[in-house]
Amino acid sequence: MTSTHQSPGASAATPDVVGRGAEALREAIARSLLSARERTRLLTECVEDGDLVRQHSPLMSPLVWDLAHIANQEELWLLRSVGGQEPLHPEIDPLYDAFEHPRTERPTLPLLPPQEARAYGKTVRSRVLDLLESATFGGAPLVSGGFAFGMIAQHEQQHDETMLITHQLRTGAPALSAAPPGPAADALRLPAEVLVPGGPFVMGTSTEPWALDNERPAHTVPVAPFYLDTTPVTNAAYQEFIADSGYDNPRWWSEAGWEHRQRAGLTAPLFWRREGSGWVRTRFGATEPVPPAEPVLHVSWYEASAYAAWAGRRLPTEAEWEKAARFDPAAGRSRRYPWGDGEASPERANLGQRHLQPAPAGSYPGGAAPCGARQLIGDVWEWTSSDFLPYPGFRAWPYREYSEVFFGSEYKVLRGGSFAVAPVVSRGTFRNWDYPVRRQIFAGFRTARDAAPA
């Protein structure tokens, strides 16, 4: 069964709720919730029930677990915490607690079958929309600015991206399709790198109403001048690294990275393989030539770091990445997005699963940052050199398991979002993190180098 994806999340960005009336906020919340649910429906109805209950990789949950987990979290936070309603099925709460059961265990649990999981989600959503009709958005922090509703919309879209990763890992005939992005008209005229001037900038946020705890609070960070790749590293450039025996020379790898490369037998990005004299890849069930102009995808932090060392460069720090993406020297302030404060649009970024692949490097001139870098939002998550750590003054809220339990050197920060990320989670302050070995995620990178102070 094949489903042509129509980007249900593309028009539901984080609303600018500051100073807006309750009715406008209510409408923005409803759009975000409905957009997320439409995407969930497409991702789970394009395959048979057997595919929903099967675990396609030990790294991922069965799709049916995600389906009911989305509904369970919506019930917990909106119906129970905000609405004060009695639990619908308290006996299933432990089944869908992500911390109680690792992904490898979830296929063995007595999960709701697909039909019951869908019915549960519909019941919860119907009650949530009724709750939204009478909701007020002042007073308690959980409802101020519609935060709890926004948190749930983001949560569902994040699981939609996770389910899309599962679709990439599943075997069998393609279940999703979408038109490819167009060519980048002026890509060949772009400089290889851009200069990001040194000086302090405001990192993070204290005002974005739906920002999550690890994005807070806003704080001033000094950043030395540096050069950053104008676009993410492309498949063609990465193939040069492979051809130059980049995977065979420990000189380019950290000690831990080289040990992992040897142990895992890494020789190319995940889903790539040699065919004749070239490279092909598997993308959502279809085999195709690796497109040279597209940003490289499905590489680990170790691979990204090795490539950067081979190129005589390095990965940017998280602060460098955010300054490049948000700081406007002319205005002397940090923007919400690289292009300004206006919402994401198809002319600015490749988001919301619209194309099911990154756009060619150099696309979206309308989404360029003041420094001139492109595609800082959308297309591929970008590895940074930074560990996932709290900002000064961090406070875990509304629950410590979202961020606090992950802080430390075990996880590396990714920024920017991929083509699979919905606009509701694509702001310039959003932080993602994962183990440095991860490759199934939609991650690429760009490189940086120091610049002499002016």
CA 283/CA 381 separation, integer angstroms: 17
Tell me the pTM.
Answer: 0.95
Task: Output the DSSP codes for 275-320.
Answer: ETTEEEEEETTEEEEPPTTSBP-S--HHHHHHHHHHTT-BPPPHHH
Helical ranges in 16-146 per DSSP H = 22-45, 49-53, 63-74, 114-134
CA 15/CA 343 separation, integer angstroms: 8
Dump pLDDT digits (tens) for 286-326.
999 999 999 999 999 999 999 999 999 999 999 999 999 99
| 434 φψ region: left (φ > 0), alpha (ψ -120 to 50), beta (else) | beta
Residue 11 pLDDT grade (very low, low, confident, very high; cuts 50, 70, 90): very low
Residues in a beta bridge with 228: 194, 448
pLDDT at position 422 over 50: yes
At the second CATH level, the architecture of 180-454 is: Alpha-Beta Complex (3.90)
- CATH tag, 3-177: 1.20.120.450
3-state secondary structure of 4: strand
Q: What is the mean pLDDT of the chain?
A: 95
Please say whether the beta carbons of 111 and 95 come within 8 A.
yes
What pLDDT, on a 0 to 100 scale, did the predictor assign at position 139?
82
Cis check: omega of the bond before 217, within 30 degrees of 0: yes
Please say whether the beta carbons of 426 and 377 come within 8 A.
yes
What pLDDT, on a 0 to 100 scale, did the predictor assign at position 16?
54
Question: Cβ neighbours of residue 444 under 8 Å, at least 6 residues apart?
Answer: 232, 233, 295, 296, 297, 299, 304, 358, 379, 380, 381, 382, 383
What pLDDT, on a 0 to 100 scale, did the predictor assign at position 92?
97
What pLDDT, on a 0 to 100 scale, did the predictor assign at position 13?
46
Task: Identify the residue whose tokens are 């760009």.
Answer: 446
What pLDDT, on a 0 to 100 scale, did the predictor assign at position 9?
36
pLDDT at position 421 over 70: yes
**The tokens of 86 are what?**
């009695």
**% of residues, the chain, pLDDT over 70:** 95
Q: Name the nearest CA neighbour of 241 among 193, 184, 191, 312.
A: 312
pLDDT at position 211 over 90: yes
**The tokens of 201 are what?**
């900038």
pLDDT at position 10 over 80: no
What pLDDT, on a 0 to 100 scale, did the predictor assign at position 8?
37
For the chain, give every domain's residue range: 3-177, 180-454
